């Protein structure tokens, strides 16, 4: 067994996109990603000992299935730019699986269209986890994984046997889709632990010695770049006064190194979510496109008139391009690009008399959908992640941005619909920590198999005022209602 991180067997070097996440983590600029799910109608006995036994058994299954769960990003001594993944010999579940009892029973989900459910206790737990990184653990040479599972269960006085499992992980080992893959495996492991119970389940998991990571995105795709695309960032940096529109752009406060994450989520009823999807189809748009347009609409209504433009970033999965390489939605890894969309206050102005109040919103959401379709159609050509190979020192790249204005107003990251046994796994929540050099705030979206749309709002304290986020959360359902009328 290895005695230090540098004694661990090497798996492979980090790709540039993985290095991007590892560098942000080292600098404390971005801590982690989270995907949570509520499990119900599975366990009769949810006493902590019984729950621990079932969860540990399911974690054994997950670790055997996903080699990335035993991978740790490290660098050779004095060579911080040569990051590689090493494989942990063993994982001590007592150190990375935590159990927390709710102070009050889990909120019950309503069926009415207007019902929007908040779960402050879960939000507080997720926010706390997004403020805890693995940086000090790695620096100290601790032989622990770069993920945690926090299980939030109902008070012992409650008859509700459901529990929520929050999977929090380092962004270099996986993206949001990887988090969903973990929960699918965890559900399978929980079923197995019920059907074939194992007595005295071990808290220490020996990791497979033949474990191999899937290749990074750069080794899986040809990220071709045109000369015009390469020249774009150069022009922006050398001649900003000619092309810049930042003076009219709202993007929160300047980039500061005080990364305290805040988080809130909102869950729409299945009826309201179904109505929203139907309205999107009727108006030839999508939930991702509508969400970006609606956020822009709300922000323009809340922000001073001096801000005339907004810019969103929308991560897009590259997995459909990688199926022939054996990489799909069940694969752990970081396989995402990002599409940028700009909005002008004038295009979301109040429509002329006689037109629907949602006329402008529908038109803008259709435009966003068209831009996302064009982004997907170009495949692996001219993706911003392809430019990372020209950045020799990512740490310096990030720290050089401190004190400057950010260039993105908000991010919308949508995992889509997770069609997985809604009777037993539901109420998924997608979340992430604050991004010091990224958008002013992020909305992470997912719809569980039970049909409920859940939006997770994360932001950096001091960059966006909490009152503004609360106002956005309050106004967004009203915008959706106008869209659906």
Beta partners for 73? 85
From-to residues of CATH 3.30.559.30 in the chain: 221-484
* Token couple for 171: 């962004």
pLDDT (tens digit per residue) in 11-67: 999 999 999 999 999 999 999 999 999 999 888 877 788 899 999 999 999 999 999
Phi, psi of 402 (to 5 degrees): -60, 135
* 96 pLDDT above the threshold of 90: yes
CA dist 325 and 175 (Å) reads 18
pLDDT value, residue 414: 98
Could you give the residue range(s) of every CATH 3.30.559.10 domain in the chain? Answer: 5-206
Average pLDDT of the residues of the chain: 92
Q: Which position has the higher pLDDT, 358 or 402?
A: 402
Domain covering 5-206 in this structure, CATH number: 3.30.559.10
- In this prediction, residue 159 carries a pLDDT of 80
Q: Are 413 and 420 in contact (CB under 8 A)?
A: no
- Rounded Cα distance between 115 and 117, Å, is 6
Residue 346 has pLDDT above 70, yes or no: yes
- What band does 75 get if pLDDT is binned at 50, 70 and 90? confident
Please report the pLDDT score of residue 352 as a whole number. Answer: 65
Residue 451, token pair as written in the block = 């049909």
pTM beyond 0.85: yes
> Phi and psi at residue 110, in whole multiples of 5°?
-80, 170
pLDDT of residue 109: 72
CA distance 56 to 46: 14
CATH number for the segment(s) 221-484: 3.30.559.30
Residue 231: the pLDDT is 82
pLDDT at 349: 83
Q: Where residue 236 falls among pLDDT bands split at 50, 70, 90?
A: low
> Rounded to whole angstroms, how far apart are CA atoms 246 and 143?
45
């Amino acid at each position: 067994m290895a005695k230090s991180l540098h004694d661990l067997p090497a798996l492979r070097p980090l790709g540039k996109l993985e290095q991007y996440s590892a560098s942000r983590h080292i600098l404390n600029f971005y801590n982690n990603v989270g995907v949570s799910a509520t499990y119900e109608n599975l366990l009769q006995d949810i006493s902590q000992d019984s729950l621990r036994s079932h969860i540990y058994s399911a974690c054994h299954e997950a670790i055997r299935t996903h080699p990335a769960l035993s991978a740790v990003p490290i660098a050779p001594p004095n060579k911080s730019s040569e990051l590689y993944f090493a494989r942990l010999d063993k994982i001590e579940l007592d150190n990375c699986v935590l159990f927390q009892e709710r102070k009050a029973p889990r909120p019950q989900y309503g069926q009415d269209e207007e019902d929007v459910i908040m779960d402050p206790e879960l939000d507080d737990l997720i926010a706390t986890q997004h403020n805890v990184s693995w940086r000090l653990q790695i620096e100290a040479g601790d032989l622990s994984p770069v993920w945690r599972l926090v299980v939030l269960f109902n008070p012992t006085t409650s008859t509700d046997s459901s529990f929520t499992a929050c999977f929090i992980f380092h962004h270099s080992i996986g993206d949001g889709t990887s988090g969903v893959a973990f929960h699918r495996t965890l559900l399978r492991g929980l079923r197995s632990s019920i059907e074939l119970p194992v007595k005295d389940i071990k808290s220490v998991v020996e990791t497979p010695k033949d474990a191999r990571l899937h290749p990074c995105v750069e080794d899986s795709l040809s990220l071709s770049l045109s000369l015009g695309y390469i020249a774009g960032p150069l022009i922006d940096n050398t001649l900003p006064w000619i092309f810049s529109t930042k003076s009219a752009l709202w993007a929160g406060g300047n980039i500061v190194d005080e990364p305290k994450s805040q988080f809130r989520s909102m869950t729409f009823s299945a009826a309201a979510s179904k109505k929203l999807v139907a309205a999107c189809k009727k108006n030839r748009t999508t939930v991702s496109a509508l969400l970006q347009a609606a956020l822009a609409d709300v922000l323009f209504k809340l922000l001073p008139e001096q801000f005339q433009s907004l810019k969103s970033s929308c991560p897009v999965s590259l997995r459909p391009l990688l199926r022939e390489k054996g990489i799909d939605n069940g694969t752990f890894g970081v396989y995402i690009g990002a599409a940028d969309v700009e909005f002008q206050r004038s295009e979301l102005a109040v429509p002329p008399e006689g037109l629907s109040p949602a006329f402008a919103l529908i038109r803008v959401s259709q435009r966003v959908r068209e831009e996302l379709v064009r982004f997907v159609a170009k495949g692996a050509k001219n993706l911003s992640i392809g430019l990372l190979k020209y950045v020799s020192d990512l740490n310096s790249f990030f720290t050089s941005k401190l004190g400057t204005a950010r260039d993105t107003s908000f991010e919308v990251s949508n995992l889509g619909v997770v069609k997985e046994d809604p009777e037993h796994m539901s109420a998924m929540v997608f979340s992430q920590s604050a991004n010091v050099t990224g958008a002013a705030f992020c909305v992470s979206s997912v719809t569980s198999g039970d049909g409920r749309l859940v939006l997770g709002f994360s932001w950096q304290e001091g960059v966006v005022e909490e009152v503004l986020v609360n106002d956005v959360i309050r106004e967004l359902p009203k915008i959706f209602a106008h869209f659906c009328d």
